[in-house]
């Protein structure tokens, strides 16, 4: 994503605007393309941008309980 954001900036696009997200949408395929559609439907057009979509993706990919699960595994390693 970092490379994509750099490319958008290099193209002279404001990454805080929906236009940059639309321009980048060709990069998203499969499930990411579906999630982009969901993001577009659930978010007001004035609030849509590439950073907002990255946060949206992050919530889909990394469950909010991930830290708790990792911590439980870590604690289990140290029990004799």
Model pLDDT for residues 11-52, shown as the tens digit of each residue: 999 999 999 999 999 888 999 899 999 999 999 988 999 999
CA angle 56, 40, 33 (to 5 degrees): 70
Region 69-75: mean pLDDT is 69
Q: Which of 69, 70, 56 is nearest to 28 (CA)?
A: 56
Q: With contact defined as beta carbons under 8 Å apart, do 19 and 50 qualify?
A: no
- Residue 13 sits in which domain range? 2-77
Residue with tokens 């321009």: 23
Domain count, the chain: 1
Tally of CB atoms within 10 A around 1: 13
Q: What is the DSSP letter of 29?
A: -
């Amino acid at each position: 994503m970092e490379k994509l954001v750099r490319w958008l900036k290099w193209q002279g696009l404001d990454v805080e605007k929906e236009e940059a997200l639309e321009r980048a949408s060709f990069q998203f395929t499969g499930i990411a393309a579906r999630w982009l559609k969901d993001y577009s439907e659930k978010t007001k057009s004035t609030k849509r941008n590439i950073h907002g979509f990255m946060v949206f993706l992050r919530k889909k990919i990394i469950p909010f309980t991930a830290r708790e699960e990792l911590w439980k595994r870590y604690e289990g390693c140290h029990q004799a």
